Structure 1
């Protein structure tokens, strides 16, 4: 009897990754291809959705070749992607969201902050839907981006006939289905999955989007994650190098796939938090009842697991901030993997001499791209206190170290907000690019006081998406069962008790810096 394998696709900010898994969650083959991003103006970022699809197809073909699995042995596929917004015409053609008018740039990237003013307008409505986004609308969510396009690119808005979160666009390309995932709509489109009337047209009317449903081709009800959306289309079969025996599962936003991959299937979910950390960082905590917290997105019902509520927080720039520090400093240059390694090695040498007090008077507030959580202030800015005239390579290392400390303290800040609202989180499951940074992995344990678990199976986003594909293919009766069966073990790191005093002190300074920055904003 032929084995049945699963294909998972993870589309991040800079690349598309594909993995082939067996039904127990073991990764057999992986491949990655870059995707293009256009920075058309300050705060603007755009993708080409056809370029993304091409990268997806190439990575799937390469991953299958690496795994040795036959095309007709792949029984399920699903997609996770960043919460970027794809604009298509009424016939499915690309529609530009760029100031330059090029139709290929049809996707507003998740990190695009062009709609800051529109996000503030959404918040000012005080509408009930805001209770499920932490009380404040973020420019990284869909509604303000749609408002911006309608207001600033009216010709684009007039031509738009289909709107997708990127993961839903990919399942549409694969299956032909216009279904939308309960994850994407609930987390980014103010869809209230827990209510019978899930859409609130009065909210959209209040922000000038009364006609949104005429331009979006949205369903009345979303599809639960892992829903079988049908087989691959003939065109997708040819492009992906698979067969029509492969079923397509309703997908998720990338961070939600990571949450499935590291905490899905755990019985005591209230104690565990997923930290999906790369360019930015996303924290996700699940519970059996809704737990609203100011500045924390959600609670979202059924996103991604049926019957559970999810609260989401995060930091808009973490890996990107460390890259920025390197570029910014005169001794930095281009932030390659080798540059990060050289800096990290030198920090370890300096710490062997000075210990955790290294650069102890240098303090960083890491909100260089706003504060997503728990302050929910997209206008927040970064702060550095304690600079001198030292411009040496060692001064770069000290600044890098203290920036890494600030990133970890930001996670502690989010944890405090969650635990103050009913959670009892004591374990962080970390996945993403930060697992390759030994400083951050050490700091996540020592600065938060939590046990840190690093998944041993590799890419948790791909694993979570493979769980979804397994559900759609019928390997398991439901998504929860797939998570339990396919979950991989991890490596634990306990906090260092000797570091607690140092980081408790740093955290007090961190909170005081937030207060002082807010006071300066008030004065100016």
Structure 2
């Protein structure tokens, strides 16, 4: 087959601040990639509010896909499949699919009268972004129930998940408007927009929407009506959970990763994307799990034999998807009651990528965002930005240069020696794992009156150390409960940060795989793999009429999806622990201090609560 007629596949990723598309060949070669920023609405009165728009996101996706087609000069007829991933954000539309504004009412006004939109906005902010923390009270209500669904989200449900957000909307929206809404995890809204099918992905339902797959913990329909009644969402049971996806086999369809959704692209969606109607669309994944798909089958150029990994042996590889926040996903095989239960770590989630396998997901709510915050709020940043522009380099390159110069001046054998008296606890946006405590705050110990570039460089380094030490805490907690993690497989923008990668290897004492190209495309390539899988099994599309058919096909085809991951994932390279004993002692001491800062903060909070009472 000539290269000009080979099939191609699109992967589409919706991150926190942008949408990306990638066009790849069947062996994973990149033909084109393009990204476009998306808008986030913030409230001037409430820092917890983060909202986006499905209309804005779809327009950005369409622009990215069309740009890739132009740049690559690929005939749309060659594009045989596409896959989606997105952040775990709550998209709200009415029963006709039109966006519903989710802006909170302000100053006693009625719903809808205090929209965050300006006269220049053409899109409705109908997405409650994952980072939106308005549902803190609702999360407390949910967690006070002690219901069994909490066992499958690490013991407590995060306010970043969809059920607390939906409960907040139920409490604040007019009842009639709420009753007309459909609620989608954003990855599932994308396949709905593309295909007009309301089928949901196992990934979104299990990870974010309190769904327990039938057969697990006595579940029969996936949903737990007594749970929804107890928390104040009993209305969802009235129509067999139609508003959040329905009951599988009755009024809903639940698919595992990459299974073909509906009849492929609708005419309208195909016209938007510049593709052909009927092009196969794979059941979507949350972005973290697309990163897992796009990395964990990668061999390493500097480790012979690393390509010989099976689906079952992937359990040793922790995928870290690091951008604004960081998610840590690891897989384990088992039956209906064999998941690994880790308090404070989300899951165990069954069947979210492969049938018969479980996933656990740890996370840090703010990592890339934290690094940016430390830099942007420092008084020396404008000076360094101006210098970087003059010299045609990056701010991060200047910071690395300053640290190298400081190490030389102080005869420090490693960078960690520079921050022996500077310690940062990183939970400025609450703790996702393993404390599952959104009330946690950040701490800095070791402040001086310095405010110049060297001080910024040291605080930047201490921030990277804090991220690495919290990663160690998450891995230790996972391994203590039964996981066997010996390596981290990176994806996302932070994979390009060499200093952080070395700190992860040394701080966690594991090898760290950096994907081809530095990890920037690993997540979106994971979605492209889903697109190819959907195309290859799309001959079964007509037969996937019932939930039983869909479930059976998922088991039948699961090894094929793994084979595609092996085929389409390019080799990366390992960063290994340095073995420097002096640095290890310092990092171990810093880790003990890190843990003490958690205990101290909790003691201080208790003291203040008692004083306030």
TM more than 0.5: yes
**How many angstroms apart in 2 are the aligned matches of 1:282 and 1:335?**
30
Distance in 2 separating the partners of 1:173 and 1:371: 33
1:97-496 equivalence runs, <5 A: 97-99=102-104, 100-101=114-115, 102=117, 104-154=124-174, 157-158=177-178, 160-195=180-215, 196-212=220-236, 214=239, 216=243, 218-221=245-248, 222-229=254-261, 230-264=263-297, 266-267=309-310, 268-289=313-334, 290-333=339-382, 338-354=394-410, 355=412, 356-456=416-516, 458=519, 459-474=521-536, 477=557, 478-496=560-578
Q: Measure, in 2, the Cα distance between the counterparts of 1:217 and 1:310.
A: 22
Matches within 5 A, 1:55-70: 55-70=60-75
Q: Distance in 1 between matches of 2:323 and 2:84?
A: 18
Q: Deviations over 1:58-112 (max 9, x none)?
A: 1011122223321010000110000011111111111110133357010000111
Query: 1:408/1:200 Cα in 2 relative to 1: closer, same or farther (>3 Å)?
Result: same
Give the CA deviation at 1:475: 6.6
Q: Tell which structure's C-alpha radius of gyration is larger.
A: 2
Unaligned runs of 5+ in 1: none
Root-mean-square deviation (CA, aligned residues, Å) is 1.9
Q: How far apart, in 2, do the equivalents of 1:54 and 1:138 lie?
A: 30
Equivalent in the alignment of 1:83: 88
1:72 touches 1:245 (CA, 8 Å); kept in 2?
A: no
- The structural deviation recorded for 1:264 is 4.6
CA distance in 2, matches of 1:390, 1:454: 35
Say which SS state the counterpart of residue 394 (structure 2) adopts: helix
Residue 487 (structure 1) shift:
2.3
Give the match for residue 510 of structure 1.
594
Determine the C-alpha separation between the residues in 1 that align with 2:382 and 2:360.
38
1:345 Cα deviation after fit: 2.5
| 1:72 equivalent among 77, 95, 109 | 77
Farther off after superposition, 296-305 or 204-213: 204-213
Partner of 1:32: 35
Q: Distance in 1 between matches of 2:153 and 2:383?
A: 36
Matched position secondary structure for 1:390 = coil
CA shift, 1:352, in A, is: 3.2
Question: Could you list the runs of 4 or more consecutive aligned residues of structure 1 that deviate by over 4 angstroms after TM superposition?
Answer: 333-337
* 3-state SS, counterpart of residue 381 of structure 2: coil
Instruction: Tell me the SS of whatever aligns to 1:497.
Output: coil
Three-state SS of the structure 2 residue aligned to 1:76 is strand
Aligned partner of 1:500 among 545, 561, 584: 584
Give, in whole Å, the separation in 2 of the partners of 1:130 and 1:76. Answer: 36
- Asked if the contact 1:8/1:463 (under 8 Å) is kept, the reply is yes
Shift in Å, 1:130: 0.2
Paired residue secondary structure (1:488): coil
Give deviations 1:266-290, integer Å, cap 9, x for gaps: 4222211001111101101111131
Query: Secondary structure of the equivalent of 2:133?
Result: coil
> Are 1:323 and 1:335, in contact at CA under 8 Å, matched by a contact in 2?
no
